[in-house]
Amino acid sequence: MRLLLHFARTYPARSLLTLLALLLAGLLDGLGLSSLLTMLVSMSGDADGAGLPLPARQVRQFLAGLGISPQLGPLLALMVLAMAGKAALRLAANAQVGYTVARVATDIRLGLLRAVLGSRWEYYLRTPIGRLSNAISGESNRAAGAYFDAAQMMAVLVQGLVYAVLALLVSWQATLAALLLGGLLMSGMGGLVRRARQAGTRQSQLTARLVTYLTDVLQSVKPLKAMGREDLADGILARQTRQIDKALRKQVIAKETLPAVQEPLLAALAAGGLYLAMAHLGLSLASVMVVIFLLARLLGYFTKVQREYQRMVSAEGGFWMLHDAIVDAQAAAEPPTGSAVPSLTRSVELRDVRFAYGEQPVLDGINLVIPAGHFTTLIGPSGAGKTTLVDVVIGLLQPQSGQVLIDGRPLPELDRQTWRRMIGYVPQDTLLLHDSVLVNVTLGDPALGRDDAERALRQAGAWDFVATLEQGLDTPVGERGGKLSGGQRQRIAIARALVHQPALLILDEPTSALDAAAEVAVRDTLRDLKGRYTLLAITHRPALLDVSDHVFHIVKGTLHRASEPVS
């Protein structure tokens, strides 16, 4: 029910339209059925209609009002018209449902993408990539399927209600008895519905776990294969796959058992109802014929509604899992951005900045001035807090106290996106996109052309090897840049950071994978960039230390000047 309310609230107009079309279709179905009943009764010889069941009499009156005599021809025409109208309305309703199912899947995907992309850096550190890819690709379709099942259930329910009203007009006693028994039948089968729901939820959870684990394995498959340990991953993946299989089988059993139990019970109930109508309520033959027909269909609708409901709840777990993932990502949204336009002509300054991951302090009262146009380098032992300091400058992490000032203005007052677009960033681990060299350098930015890419590649000392590639700039780099060497990947990452001519170039160990010649090329580039750009690097390499203007040493979150500016 929670899911139905959620859909009704999220898509009110579409849901209302669909319901309206279904209701009208149900009413037309009832009209068609009443015409049929009238014919049946007329054929039974009850010419004046006195013994006709109520809806049949009303159809006669309705036809008389229109000046149509209740003969076979007009009755048949009315029935055909009603059925055609019903079919058209069902088509309209089903088309709406189909569009909405596609819309639900799109909304889930976009909702998750936007929530994820708008999250704080800490969110990415704790959320497995595989969980997100599973959600975007497979699970969102399954979750949207829950809307389809909900709509199918409503369609059957509306039609069932129309039949119930007709049946009540014919014999309220027999109908009430059927409704009561139908209700009992449904609650008796509740266990099977619950089992399908549990198995569906488990299937979603297990699939998310499997895809998450598989993504991690594939990302580190090289060391696994190199050390002959892929069988360890295989064992875990196979166990998780078997668990999914078990959950699927449970769902199948619950789904198949439901109709298998419903049908004999239904037959028994129909027989009981018939007996009641004939032996105890003393209904006329015409009414009994109608009662048999209506009650059998009515109980049929009961069971169908329950089957659709079961289908819906077995897909529901996936829907709520995605819904919670979106809420989780939204809760981790980046803080509101300021609106001031940043400039970097004087300095980036950190004033008494303190940052901790939970209880663990990482930056412990950092005071640092990074002058514009200079080359500032941070060195220090592993885990000292160098990358964390850089993340604070970018605004990926917010310090618990202290300030980051850009040309004297606190970072939170600045427009975050504009500030970050002024940054060129070379990360410690170079991961390229599975695309061409060109796209890897420009990131698909339409404002940047081939000339820009070539200039940046030349500056990064990468043009020589790119020019020799078979397709030059258009050469695909393979999955995560796997077709290139570590040093080549690193130079492409440097070109990517330079291509948009950033005001602040941040490099985290930019030459760690380069040979001496390539390192000299990058060093010369950085030396040339000095004065035009502000450079902030983390490095231990003497080549870069030689061209730095200021070198700071970080030890256990505190900063020490390691050298005076070089000339």
Ligand X SMILES: Nc1ncnc2c1ncn2[C@@H]1O[C@H](COP(=O)(O)OP(=O)(O)OP(=O)(O)O)[C@@H](O)[C@H]1O
Interface ranges with ligand X (CB under 6 A) = 125, 357, 360, 362, 380, 382-388
Secondary structure (DSSP) of 202-226:
HHHHHHHHHHHHHHHHHHTHHHHHH
> Rounded to the nearest whole angstrom, what is the least distance from the CB of residue 487 to ligand X in the complex?
19
> Rounded to the nearest whole angstrom, what is the least distance from the CB of residue 385 to ligand X in the complex?
4
Given the complex with ligand X, which of 475 and 558 has the nearer CB atom? 558
Given the complex with ligand X, which of 345 and 382 has the nearer CB atom? 382
Q: Where are the alpha helices (DSSP H) in 118-139?
A: 121-126, 129-134
Given the complex with ligand X, which of 61 and 428 has the nearer CB atom? 428
> Rounded to the nearest whole angstrom, what is the least distance from the CB of residue 508 to ligand X in the complex?
7
CA atoms of 567 and 565, how far apart (whole Å): 6
The strand pairing partners of 354, in sequence order, are: 364, 401
What phi-psi label fits residue 128: left (phi over 0), alpha (psi between -120 and 50 degrees) or beta? beta
> Rounded to the nearest whole angstrom, what is the least distance from the CB of residue 218 to ligand X in the complex?
22
CA atoms of 534 and 425, how far apart (whole Å): 12
> Rounded to the nearest whole angstrom, what is the least distance from the CB of residue 348 to ligand X in the complex?
17
Instruction: Give CA 478 to chain center in angstroms.
Output: 27
> Rounded to the nearest whole angstrom, what is the least distance from the CB of residue 122 to ligand X in the complex?
7
Given the complex with ligand X, which of 477 and 559 has the nearer CB atom? 559
Given the complex with ligand X, which of 183 and 383 has the nearer CB atom? 383
Among 170, 179, 161, 164, residue whose Cα is nearest residue 281 = 170
For residue 563 the two structure tokens come to: 């050298």
Backbone angles phi, psi at 355, to 5 degrees: -140, 140
CA atoms of 35 and 24, how far apart (whole Å): 17
Beta-sheet pairing, 375-379 with 534-538? parallel
Given the complex with ligand X, which of 364 and 415 has the nearer CB atom? 364
> Rounded to the nearest whole angstrom, what is the least distance from the CB of residue 534 to ligand X in the complex?
20
> Rounded to the nearest whole angstrom, what is the least distance from the CB of residue 114 to ligand X in the complex?
23
Given the complex with ligand X, which of 437 and 506 has the nearer CB atom? 506
User: Can you tell me whether residue 512 is helix, strand or coil?
Assistant: coil
Given the complex with ligand X, which of 382 and 417 has the nearer CB atom? 382
What phi-psi label fits residue 26: left (phi over 0), alpha (psi between -120 and 50 degrees) or beta? alpha
Given the complex with ligand X, which of 384 and 466 has the nearer CB atom? 384
Neighbour count for residue 192 (Cβ, 10 Å): 22
> Rounded to the nearest whole angstrom, what is the least distance from the CB of residue 505 to ligand X in the complex?
18
Q: Are 509 and 428 in contact (CB under 8 A)?
A: yes
Given the complex with ligand X, which of 203 and 388 has the nearer CB atom? 388
- Residue 321, judged by CB atoms within 10 A of its CB (0-12, 13-18, 19+), counts as buried
Q: Where are the alpha helices (DSSP H) in 227-360?
A: 230-275, 285-331
> Rounded to the nearest whole angstrom, what is the least distance from the CB of residue 232 to ligand X in the complex?
26
Among 482, 438, 157, residue whose Cα is nearest residue 298 = 157
> Rounded to the nearest whole angstrom, what is the least distance from the CB of residue 362 to ligand X in the complex?
4
Given the complex with ligand X, which of 32 and 380 has the nearer CB atom? 380
CA atoms of 283 and 291, how far apart (whole Å): 9
Q: Where are the alpha helices (DSSP H) in 340-485?
A: 386-394, 416-421, 437-442, 450-459, 463-468
